Amino acid sequence: MKKEITVSTPGRICLFGEHQDYLGLPVIAAAISRRVSITGSQSFQNEAIIHLPDIKREQKFKIFSEMPYTHRRDYFKAALNILQRKGYEFSQGLECTVKGNIPINSGTSSSSALLANWIHFLSLVAENPKQLSPSEIAEIAYQAEIVEFKEAGGMMDHYSTAIGNVIYLASTPKIAVTTLKPPHGTFILGDSKEPKDTIGILKRVKGGVLNAVEKIKAKHPDFSLFTASMTDIEGFNSFLDPEEIELIEANIDNRDILKRALSLFDSPLVDKAEFGSLLNKHQDNLRDKLKISTPKIDRMLNAGLDAGAIGGKINGSGGGGCMFVYAPDNPEKVAQAIENEGGKAYIITIDEGTKIENK
């Protein structure tokens, strides 16, 4: 049996570009200091045994080429299938334990972090191990989660968790990742403990934007969310309903907010006040036009800002889940204010990407 190995991967927050990556628009995301780890090694049982004590479960299945999927999001098997297509061999089997402290199903990419971590782990315990680059891990994770199961989603989660720190991710016309200088200091992640409505939100927001763009292109074939300005959409209310107008306006404004934020990261020192102001403006669109926030998350954000945070926004698909605020000063006070509104608060910092813990 090979030496036991531990790898870990962070969760993430989306700083700018929420609900834009699946449209091909760029995003700025940050890995956070809450992580998932896998500890394990090869075994001699010709099967995968995955212990999941945090959720009191265990997965066990025989490993063979092109395993059929037995449930809708069979990500463990999907990653194995893809790696085997790439020539990795696992005939001896493996056993591992998964542990983590990323809030689950709350918009901080716990599932994508686990999948990226699983792929990293598999690449090291295969019979013919080969170290993958963070970008390669991200691409395989995207294939295993989105492409393999025909899911609706972008690439942000996979690249931000695998690569780590703060990244600018452009996916059109091709994938391009730039590592950015992070803003100094701490953030507070607040879990509302409200379940997300990912499917419903995506159906309304993504579906609404795509339908609106299709209507616009029928009359203005050159229209593009990448280049359109607010003045370009004047008069569109003759064939778009008010909600569609709001969705298009929000995407254009959020795109421009991200551009202004990107210029901040190019500065020798990120302007904290401007950074916080842009987070707040992004949240205004997410709350008022995309309508993905909730009254409780709004209260948590306001409490954090009143306690000294500089800016913040909802995080993830919305309808529940997490929010975060940027709080480089007095983070404990800000965290307590968020918890006073019924949330669970975590003081976090920007963290590195997927890594081996025991070399």
The series of mean pLDDT values per 10 residues for the chain, 359 residues long, is: 87 97 94 98 91 95 93 94 96 94 91 97 95 96 93 87 97 92 94 89 93 96 96 94 96 98 91 96 98 97 98 95 97 98 97 91
Query: Residue ranges per domain, the chain?
Result: 5-180+352-356, 188-348
Q: Check residue 1 and give its pLDDT.
A: 47
Could you tell me which of 189, 188, 165 has the C-alpha nearest to residue 330?
Answer: 188
Q: Check residue 359 and give its pLDDT.
A: 62
- The structural architecture, per CATH, of the domain 5-180+352-356 is 2-Layer Sandwich (3.30)
Q: Using the CB atoms, write b or e for 87-97: b if 16+ within 10 Å.
A: ebebebbbbbb
Instruction: State which fold the 188-348 domain adopts.
Output: Alpha-Beta Plaits (3.30.70)
- HSE-CB at 151 with a 13 A cutoff on CA atoms is 19
Quick one: CA dihedral 69, 74, 75, 77, positive or negative?
negative
Pull the structure tokens for residue 179. Answer: 């590592």
In what side-by-side order are the strands of the sheet with 311-315? 311-315, 322-326, 187-191, 344-348
Q: Helix, strand or coil for residue 99?
A: strand
Q: Which residue has the tokens 């500065």?
A: 267
- Backbone φ and ψ for 325, nearest 5 degrees, come out as -130, 155
Residues 136, 1: contact at Cβ < 8 Å?
A: no
- Backbone φ and ψ for 221, nearest 5 degrees, come out as -60, -25
Angle at Cα 185 formed by Cα 180 and Cα 188, nearest 5°?
105
Q: Check residue 19 and give its pLDDT.
A: 94
User: What is the spatial distance between Cα 147 and Cα 170, in angstroms, rounded to a whole number?
Assistant: 18
Could you tell me which of 253, 109, 275 has the C-alpha nearest to residue 180?
Answer: 275
β-strand pairing of 94-100 with 166-170: unpaired
